[in-house]
Structure 1
C-alpha cells in the first residue's frame, strides 16, 4: 500500500448554536447526584467530552422542545444525557431509541453499571424484539421498531417526558417514520422533549423540519442545534496505489501485514455482508493457526460482527483479547456508528456497503453492493481514533475516494414501503400523501406499496386498515408478505413448518462457505442431502429439522457446513414469532411432511413475487415482464427448470437473480390471489 500525506479527522465544532445571552443563569442550575454513584465512576463520566456541555444541554431542553445534537460516537451523548436528566429530577420516563438491538442492550448495560443498578430494574431497562422489560424503568433503551409499536398503543407517548432518537444520520425507514410521527406528537404535547442525536447529520435540515415557529422570530423557535466536541484523536489515512481485484482477500492480507509490523492495537475490518464476514473470518483463523505454530508473531483473536449473530456472540467484540493476542473484528456497517469497540487502533475499509434498493418492476427490494459515501467512510475512519491515534487503510485509491457521493441516500427513498405504509395506517393516518416525511419517498414507490397492501387484504378500497387482518399484520415487525404467510398458516394446518421457514428467512444465510476447493465440493455434497425438488424454502425446513433432531449440536453444523450461530439465531426468532402467533389464536399445528399445504400457504402471501419460465429460457415476472434468473446458490440452479416459481428476494449483480425460490402450480395463483391474477388465453 502506498502512503499518502496523512489526513487528520478534525474534532467536531465546539461552538454551540445557543445564543450567548441564553447562557445566563446556567451556573446556578442545581444537580442532584445519587449517592450510589461511586467516585471512580463519576471521574470516568467527567472525562467524557459531553460533560462540559451538560449545563447547556439541560438548559436547552428546558427552553426548547427539540434539541438537535451533533456529537461524535463515543462522546457520551447516548449514556450521559438520560443520566443528566434523571440527576436533574426530570419527571416521567426517558426513552432512548437506537437503530440496532446490540446498541440498545449494550448501552443499557453501560448505564446500569454507571448508576450502580441492575439492568431491567427500576432505573435502567431495554426493549428489543422478543426481549423487553416488563416494568417501566426511568431510563429505557429500545429499538426503533419497539418505539413504533409503543406509538401504536399510546399515540401521544404519555408515559414519556423525553424521547431521544439516536444515530439519526443512518436514516433508516424507521428513523424517518419516527421523526415524522414525533413532529405530530410534539404539536399535541408541548411538555414533551425530543433529542435528535447523531454523529454526522444535516443539522440545519432537521432544525427546519422540527422548528414549528412560523413567524421567523428566533425567540419563538421550538428547536435548537447544539454541537458537542468529540474526543477524536488524529487518524492517518492510507490508500492503495492501484485498484484491487478482491477486497476480501486484500482485507485479509492487510490484517496480516499490520500484524507482521508489530504495531500495537486491535483491528476492525469493514465488509458488506454476513457471507463476506464469515469468509474473511475463516481465512484469518486459518492464518491464526499458522501464526500460533510459528510463535513469531502476535497471535490473532478473530471475531465476526453482523446483525444476524446471536446477541451473546456480538458481545464478544467488546471484551479484551486474551493475553498475547491481537483482537481482529470483521464487521458489516453495524460497527460503523451504533457501537464503540474498545481497543481499535487500525481500521480496514473495503470501500463498499450492501444497500436495499426497491425495484418497482419486480415489486421487491434488490440487494446491491455499492461504494460507500464520504460520510460513511469518515464514520468508519473515526472508529480508529476513539482512544488513541489510529490508522485507516482504505482499499481504494485516493482518486476514487474523491468521486464518492457525499451522503448515503435515506432508506425511505430507496426501499419497499409496504411495511412503513402499513404502520402509518395503523397510526390512523389516512392520507399518506399529507404525512410529513423528512425525505419524501418517490410517488411510484408509495403507489406500489398501496397496491400490494390492498392485494394482501390489509387495506380496503378506501385505503383503511381491514379488521382484524390489517391491524394484526401491523403488529408484526416483518415484511407484510411474510406476515400474511404466518397468519394464514393455521388455515392450511402447517403453522409449525411456516414458522420455521419464515424464521430461516430472517438471517442472511445458514450456509458456511469453505474457502478451499475440496471443502467447497464437500459442502455442496452435504447440502444435497437436504435438497428437495420443491425448492429452497422446503430445503431450509429440512435443514432446521435436522438441526433440532441433532439437539442443536455444533458438530451437526460442522459436518454439514452450516453456520451454527445463524441457526441459533433462527431458534430465537422462531420462539418469538411462535408466541406472537399464539397471541392471535393461530393454531400451532404440523402438516406432517405433506408439502402441498406449505406451498399453498407460501403462495397466499408471496403471490406478488411470482415468475414463469418463458419460452426463451429465462424467467419473467407475471407483472412487469422483467427477466429474472435463478441464483447459483439455489437448489433449482442445477436441475431442470420448473415452469412456475415464487421467490423471496432479488439480488442485483450482473443480472437480476431470484433467491429463496419455491416451485408452485400456476392455478394456485388464481385460486389463492384471484384479486391479483386471473387466467386468460392468448392466441398468436
Structure 2
C-alpha cells in the first residue's frame, strides 16, 4: 500500500483581477456522476481499498493495534468493518466504529446495512446520543465516540467489543481524545488479566501519524491510496482584508468562465455568513447575461433541517451550476458528487476556552494546514479539480500544521466528570495523547466543585453523590445539575423540556427571505422572560397539535429536530425516574423554572451596567445580547445565558431573565462581592 503523494505545487491568483483566468486543460471532461444502477457488489469492488483487501486482512489479523491512513474516498470507513466481519476477525464480540459526528454514524451504518443487504439495526446498527438502533444480532456497531465513552463508564474494559475502530481520528474532538486513553487502558488491562484481546484500529485521513503511532505503543502505520485526482491550487497575490468579498468575486469569475456542469464548494464559517452570501449570490446571478448559465445556491450547516441538507446531493438541472456554501461539515463528514472547484476562505468557527476567565467563546479563526488540505481534497474526488485559497502562500506557511485538539481549547468540566465516573485513579495524571494545560484541568475541577459534583482531599478528587447522579446524564454538568435541582423547585417536567431543546440543533428555522413572516408568527410564542421560556411555549404548542407538519411549516419550526427533542426528553425522563426523582410540573409558575435555571447556570450570569452595557459577573467580560434573542430590545438587570459567540462583539445567546437573589442563593461564596445590587 503505497504512501499518498505529496501535495501538488500551487500557483497564485488575484481575485478581481481582469487577468485572472481559470487555468483549465483543453478538453477536460466534467466530473462523472456515481452510477446508482451499478450493483452494490461492483461498487464495492471499484473502491480503491478493494485492491488491498487481502493484504489488509492479513495485516489486521496479526496486529493488536494499527494506524490506517487513507484519503476520503478510499472506502476505508465502510469496507474495513465488513472485511473484518467477512474474514471472521472479531466475531466473538462486537466491532465498534466510532465517529465524531452523529450524522456520519447514522449515514455510514445505513450505507453498510444496504451493502450487507440487511435491515438496519440487525447485523449493522448505530448508537448516537438519545438514539439506539441496535439489537442482540448487531455485530457491526457505528457510534459516536461519546456513546462508547458512556459505555466505558459501566464497563471500563469494554468487554462486549473485540475490535474498536476509531475513525476520523485527525478531527481530535474531546471525546475522541478521552477515548484514546480509555481504549488504550482497556486493551492493556485485558492483556494483563488474560481476557480476550482487544484490537484497536485508528483511522485518519491525514499524513501526520507519528503521534497516533507513538501513543499506541508504536503501532504500525498502513497507507491506503484514495480516489484522488490532480488538483491545481491557487493562492492570492495579496492578503485579503475581506475574505467574504474575495470569495464572492472568485465564485462569479468561475461561474462566468467554467462549464455549467462544474459545481463549486465554498467554505465559510457559520449559518449567518452562509445565508447572507446565499442572498447576495442569488441577487447577482439574476442580473448576469444568459450566456453565464443559471446558478442554484445551496447552503449547508449543521442546524439546517435534514431535508434541506439533502439538497446538496441532488444533481442540478441541466445547464445549471450547483454552488454549495458550507461550514467545515463538508471537510470530512460527507462527500458531495460533482464538485470541481473549491474556494477556501481559510477561516473556521471554533470554540476557545480561557481557564482564567472561565469563559468558552465561539470565535472565527484560521484553519490549520491539515484542514486546508482536507478542503482542497474535496475538488479531486471524481476528476481533476481546482482549489482557490483566499490567502497568500506566505500566510499558509504560518498556519498551524494540525488543528489544535479540542481538549486543549475547551472547558474540561464534562471531561473531568466522565473520567471520575470511569473511576480513573487520578484524573490529573490521565494518559492524554495531547495533555491539556494544568490551568484548564484546575478550572474544570473548580467548576465541578462549585456545582457540588466533587470533593477534594489533598491531591485526590472524588465524585460526591450529586456528582455520580450528574454523570448519569449524557449532558454538560451544568445541565445535569439543573435537572437534578428541578425537583426542589417542582418544575422537573419543564426543565427536562428546556434542556432537551438546548441539546439538539435549533428547532427554529429562519429563512432570511421570509424574515417578516417569521417575526409575525413567532410573536404569539414570545415570552418577556427570555429565550428559554419562548422555546418552552413553542414546544407546548407543538405538543398540542401532536407534531403536525403543516403547523411546523406555517410556524417555521424544524419538525425533525422537534421530534428529536421529544425522544431526548423521554430518555432524560427515564434517567430521572431511575434516580427516583419526583416528576412534577410547575404549570403556569414560570418563576420557579427561571429560579431553577439560575441555580444551574449561575456561572454564566451577566449584569446590566449604568451605561446600558452588560458584564459577566465572574470575570467582568463585556458582553452583548445577541440580536436573535427575544430580550434583544429589552434591558433586563440580570440574565443567565447558554453560550458566548464572538464575532464583531462578544454576544450572549439563549438568555433567561433572573433575580440577583436567586444567583446569590445558588452559590453564596461564589457571588460574594460580585452582585452590584447586593453590595449597595
TM-score per shorter chain, which class? 0.7 to 0.9
Aligned mate of 1:304, from 292, 299, 302 = 299
Q: Which of 337-346 and 607-616 deviates more?
A: 607-616
1:119-157 deviation line (CA, Å, top 9, x unaligned): 2212x1111122212314121111111111121222111
3-state DSSP class of the match of 1:52? helix
Partner of 2:411: 416
3-state DSSP class of the match of 2:601? helix
Partner of 1:132: 132
Aligned mate of 2:203, from 191, 197, 207 = 197
Does structure 1 retain, via aligned residues, the 8 Å contact 2:174–2:407?
Answer: yes
3-state DSSP class of the match of 2:88? coil
3-state DSSP class of the match of 1:477? coil
In the alignment, structure 1 residue 648 sits paired with structure 2 residue 642: yes
Closer, same or farther: CA 187–272 of 1 in aligned 2, 3 Å: same
In the alignment, structure 1 residue 238 sits paired with structure 2 residue 230: no
In the alignment, structure 1 residue 276 sits paired with structure 2 residue 264: no
Partner of 1:59: 58
Matches within 5 A, 1:77-476: 77-90=76-89, 91=91, 92-122=93-123, 124-136=124-136, 137-190=138-191, 191-211=197-217, 223-241=219-237, 247-248=243-244, 251=247, 254-260=250-256, 261-284=258-281, 298-311=293-306, 313-321=308-316, 325-462=320-457, 463-467=461-465, 469-476=466-473
3-state DSSP class of the match of 2:383? coil
Does structure 1 retain, via aligned residues, the 8 Å contact 2:368–2:400?
Answer: yes
Shift of 1:88: 1.1
Partner of 1:577: 569
Partner of 2:10: none
Does structure 2 retain, via aligned residues, the 8 Å contact 1:274–1:508?
Answer: no
Shift of 1:170: 0.6
Does structure 2 retain, via aligned residues, the 8 Å contact 1:646–1:662?
Answer: yes
Does structure 1 retain, via aligned residues, the 8 Å contact 2:481–2:600?
Answer: yes
Does structure 2 retain, via aligned residues, the 8 Å contact 1:4–1:238?
Answer: no
Does structure 2 retain, via aligned residues, the 8 Å contact 1:503–1:570?
Answer: no
3-state DSSP class of the match of 1:356? strand
Aligned mate of 1:607, from 583, 602, 609 = 602
Partner of 1:13: none
3-state DSSP class of the match of 2:488? coil
Closer, same or farther: CA 362–645 of 1 in aligned 2, 3 Å: farther
Closer, same or farther: CA 72–598 of 1 in aligned 2, 3 Å: same
Q: RMSD between aligned alpha carbons?
A: 3.3
Shift of 1:68: 0.8
Closer, same or farther: CA 155–5 of 1 in aligned 2, 3 Å: same
Q: How many angstroms apart in 2 are the aligned matches of 1:170 and 1:236?
A: 25
Shift of 1:416: 0.4
Closer, same or farther: CA 443–201 of 1 in aligned 2, 3 Å: farther
Matches within 5 A, 1:668-683: 668-674=662-668, 676-678=670-672
Q: Which of 453-462 and 180-189 deviates more?
A: 453-462
TM-score (normalised: structure 1): 0.84
Closer, same or farther: CA 63–114 of 1 in aligned 2, 3 Å: same
1:415-458 deviation line (CA, Å, top 9, x unaligned): 00011111111110131112100000011111111111122122
Aligned mate of 1:598, from 566, 577, 593 = 593
In the alignment, structure 1 residue 536 sits paired with structure 2 residue 534: no
TM-score (normalised: structure 2): 0.84
Closer, same or farther: CA 111–432 of 1 in aligned 2, 3 Å: same
Q: How many angstroms apart in 2 are the aligned matches of 1:141 and 1:414?
A: 27
Closer, same or farther: CA 109–533 of 1 in aligned 2, 3 Å: closer
Q: Which of 393-402 and 197-206 deviates more?
A: 393-402
Does structure 1 retain, via aligned residues, the 8 Å contact 2:66–2:221?
Answer: yes
3-state DSSP class of the match of 1:461? strand
Closer, same or farther: CA 95–527 of 1 in aligned 2, 3 Å: same
Q: How many angstroms apart in 1 are the aligned matches of 2:245 and 2:506?
A: 21
1:156-187 deviation line (CA, Å, top 9, x unaligned): 11121111100111110011000011110110
Task: Return 5+ residue gaps in structure 2 as ranges.
Answer: 1-14, 26-36, 192-196
Partner of 1:74: 73
Closer, same or farther: CA 189–70 of 1 in aligned 2, 3 Å: same
Closer, same or farther: CA 55–181 of 1 in aligned 2, 3 Å: same
Matches within 5 A, 1:539-550: 539-546=534-541
3-state DSSP class of the match of 1:676? helix
Shift of 1:200: 0.7
3-state DSSP class of the match of 1:491? helix
3-state DSSP class of the match of 1:227? strand
Matches within 5 A, 1:499-518: 499-506=496-503
3-state DSSP class of the match of 2:372? helix
Q: How many angstroms apart in 2 are the aligned matches of 1:201 and 1:262?
A: 33
3-state DSSP class of the match of 2:434? coil
Shift of 1:325: 4.7
